[in-house]
Each structure stands twice: as C-alpha cells, then as structure tokens.
C-alpha cells in the first residue's frame, strides 16, 4: 500500500495531511483513559480541505495508519482519526464501538457514522453497540 501511495502525489499529499491527527490519536490513546474526554478533545484542531467523499477520507486514514505501522485490528485508531477529521470539517458524526459473537468468541469493532450511516464499513450485522459518542452533543 505504501508504494501505491508514493506513486500518486495527490494521494500522498492527502495522506500527509492526515498523519498529524493520526499521531495525535495514537498519543492520546496512551495517555487518556476517559474516552468521552478523549473524543471531545479531538473535535477541535486544524481543518484541511475535505478529501472528497468521507469514504475517500477513510482510505486516506487507513493509508496513514499503515505508514505508522498500524495493521490489522486498527479499527479504534482509524475510527478516532476519521471522527476527528470529519468533526473538524463540521460534519455531524458519531464514534461507535460494539461487540458481537463470532464462532463463540467476542469480536469488537469501532466505526464512525456520518448522519447515522456507517462510513466505508462492511456488514455490521450482529454488533451490539456498547459505546456511542456524538460530536453534536459535546459542542
């Protein structure tokens, strides 16, 4: 994936714009135990032009996190970074996390909803929502 990003200068620029927010999320995840306070703190900050549709921003966030070494099961930093960027652009978004049973074991996942619709997510059937933070409630 990194090579594909490097071959496309416009995409590389978008990914570079995402990196500071992704680093901020990584740092805060290690320091802040209060999830609502962490998310509220991510809502303000520098605003960059939108990457187009939110699904494109989701791909840029995923690429930035891969460059930082975040691979599989990186849904929490990905969702938090996407939540921060969309919040800063003025969108009504929610950070959501849930669990479901898969083959008798618990499977957790975190995602972002834009106006109540999951952004660039596959099938979320079976997930029971455990936590939800709407940015409009903290403004």
Which residues constitute the domain of residue 6? 2-137
Query: Per the structure, how many domains does the chain have?
Result: 1
How high does pLDDT run on average in the chain? 87
- Residue 39 pLDDT exceeds 90: yes
What are 86-89's contacts with CB under 8 Å, separation 24+? 86/54, 86/57, 86/112, 86/114, 86/119, 87/42, 87/43, 87/135, 88/43, 88/44, 88/45, 88/46, 88/47, 89/47, 89/50
Give the mean pLDDT of 90-107.
93
Give the mean pLDDT of 95-109.
93
Q: How far apart are CA 100 and CA 104, in angstroms?
A: 9
Q: Where are the alpha helices (DSSP H) in 71-116?
A: 75-88
């Amino acid at each position: 994936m990194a090579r594909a990003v490097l071959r496309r200068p416009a995409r590389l620029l978008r990914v570079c714009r995402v990196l500071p927010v992704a680093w901020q999320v990584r740092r805060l995840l290690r320091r802040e135990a209060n999830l609502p306070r962490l998310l509220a703190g991510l809502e303000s900050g520098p605003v960059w032009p939108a990457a187009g549709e939110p699904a494109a921003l989701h791909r840029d966030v995923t690429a930035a996190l891969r460059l930082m070494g975040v691979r599989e099961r990186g849904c929490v930093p990905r969702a938090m970074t996407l939540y921060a960027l969309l919040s800063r652009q003025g969108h009504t978004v929610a950070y959501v996390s849930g669990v479901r049973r898969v083959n008798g074991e618990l499977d957790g996942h975190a995602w972002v909803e834009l106006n109540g619709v999951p952004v660039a997510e596959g099938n979320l059937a079976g997930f029971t929502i455990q936590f939800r933070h709407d940015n409009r409630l903290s403004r």
